Amino acid sequence: MRMVILAVAVWFSGTTPFAQQGATDVGSRLMQQAVVKAALDAARRNEPQIIEEQVRLCEIPAPPFAEMARAEAYRDAFAALGLQNVRIDEAGNVLGDRPGAAERPRLVFSAHLDTVFPEGTDVRVRREGTLLRGPGIGDDCRGLAVVLGVIRALNDAGVETPGPITFVGTVGEEGLGDLRGVKHLFNASLKDRIDRFVSVDGTGLGITHIGVGSHRYRVTFKGPGGHSYGAFGLVNPIHALGRAIAAIADFQVPSEPKTTFNVGRIGGGTSVNSIAFEAWMEVDMRSADPAALASVDANVQQALDRALAAENGRWSRGRLDVERELVGDRPAGRTPAESPMVQAIVSVTRALGLPVALDEGSTDSNFGMSRGVPSVTIDGGGTGSGAHSLGESFDATNSWQGTQRALLVAIALARQ
């Protein structure tokens, strides 16, 4: 296959940040090149195949911490598209390299493999014209398919980028996965080799450049337990849990920066006529501001301490303890709106005649942002609804626009 090296202004040397000059109009300049036009035409032409891949991947279960079947299918797709050094790393991420004319800068272009749905969920996709219905069809089967569409369009047009692109399907983006896949990329598989990071996640045409951080705890109150009548007066873990939840529910948090808290799950006890020996809850806190996140975390810890002291002080028999397990730690961060990376993505979006919408969210890009690596998450096009529900749907009307935008983002950011 004949490869055409794109000739666009030099933005990058070694691993230093690429310059602002050139970022704000890169989209219009790329659109003037015949090879880019050919790639964009290929992306639109291939959209029916991309939709088929979206459905096929979505019908392979990928429940939390059990993404291997989908990972193996994704690895096979990478190999079929001619990527080099296709592999599954120790965390379960799928990686494949598309070499550039030089070794740097390296762009990582990714989507996540996992879903929020447990093992045994019916993941069959139902079609109603352009509407697809199925768990995970938008989040993130759409992203996975778009990544494959970008690779295919680059190949079809014979594009060679100045820098290499490593395409990735990550594990552990959802829920208690705690970004374990992308953390492994930065800490091990591609340590010190990631210059820019893009995640394609979900539907629409947004640009997520602010990473909402989160702390998640599993909190367990423990005591001796006993009979509800015979052991009355014994400390009660469920009562302590209730005290803690009531205190958390009364928190006052800032609206700017938006800061949130939630007790999402509770459990404990053995029967209605028993004083429980254990009661637990899972707590989620979020903010895009690290200081605000730390503040609400500190308030949760104080609420737990006070609930424990109050319950132990209320009764004369027994003593409770509390265990706090940090089960999720997503760092907050941002790639500023005025940064060259965001400006380049904005330029690309405008060049395609698409609306620009800067946003915040919690995605794989959080970790790169926290490490100071230019990182952004882009939506994959189309229109979605019901994410994280069994009734999730994806409308493929004009979904090719998302594929084209992702393609042009990849070309723009794989620059020297």
Question: What is the tally of structural domains in the chain?
Answer: 2
Q: Is the pLDDT of residue 14 over 60?
A: no
* 397 domain-assigned: yes
Q: What is the chain's alpha carbon radius of gyration, rounded to the nearest angstrom?
A: 24
Q: Band of the pLDDT at 314, cuts 50, 70, 90? A: very high
Q: pLDDT tens for residues 141-182?
A: 999 999 999 999 999 999 999 999 999 999 999 988 999 999
Same domain, 235 and 354: no
User: Which three-class secondary structure state does DSSP give residue 291?
Assistant: helix
Same domain, 117 and 58: yes
* 6 domain-assigned: no
Q: Band of the pLDDT at 20, cuts 50, 70, 90? A: low
Nearby residues of 289 by Cβ (< 8 Å), 6 or more positions away: 257, 259, 332
Q: Is the pLDDT of residue 2 over 60?
A: no
Q: Band of the pLDDT at 210, cuts 50, 70, 90? A: very high
Same domain, 144 and 20: yes
What confidence score (pLDDT) does residue 3 get? 44
Q: Band of the pLDDT at 22, cuts 50, 70, 90? A: confident
Would you say how long the chain is, in residues? 416
Same domain, 168 and 260: no
Percent of the chain with pLDDT strictly greater than 70:
95
Same domain, 115 and 28: yes
* 169 domain-assigned: yes
Q: Band of the pLDDT at 92, cuts 50, 70, 90? A: very high
Same domain, 155 and 49: yes
Cα 68 from Cα 83, distance rounded (Å): 20
- What pTM was estimated for this model as a whole? 0.90
CATH number of the structural domain spanning residue 371:
3.40.630.10
What confidence score (pLDDT) does residue 416 get? 57
Cα 171 from Cα 67, distance rounded (Å): 7
Same domain, 157 and 51: yes
DSSP assignments along 152-189, one per residue: HHHHHHTEE-SS-EEEEEES--SGGGTTHHHHHIIIII
Same domain, 344 and 322: no
* 1 domain-assigned: no
Domain that holds residue 189: 11-211+333-413
* 158 domain-assigned: yes
* 373 domain-assigned: yes
Same domain, 280 and 228: yes
Same domain, 230 and 207: no
What confidence score (pLDDT) does residue 282 get? 97
What confidence score (pLDDT) does residue 9 get? 38
Q: Count CB neighbours of 28 within 10 A.
A: 12
Same domain, 201 and 248: no
Same domain, 67 and 142: yes
* 4 domain-assigned: no
Last residue of a domain, one of 288, 309, 330: 330
* 3 domain-assigned: no
CATH number of the structural domain spanning residue 225:
3.30.70.360
Cα 254 from Cα 292, distance rounded (Å): 8
β-strand partners of 228: none
- The mean pLDDT value for 313-327 works out to 96
Last residue of a domain, one of 330, 351, 377: 330
Last residue of a domain, one of 306, 330, 354: 330
Nearby residues of 285 by Cβ (< 8 Å), 6 or more positions away: 214, 215, 216, 259, 260, 261, 262, 293, 296, 297, 300
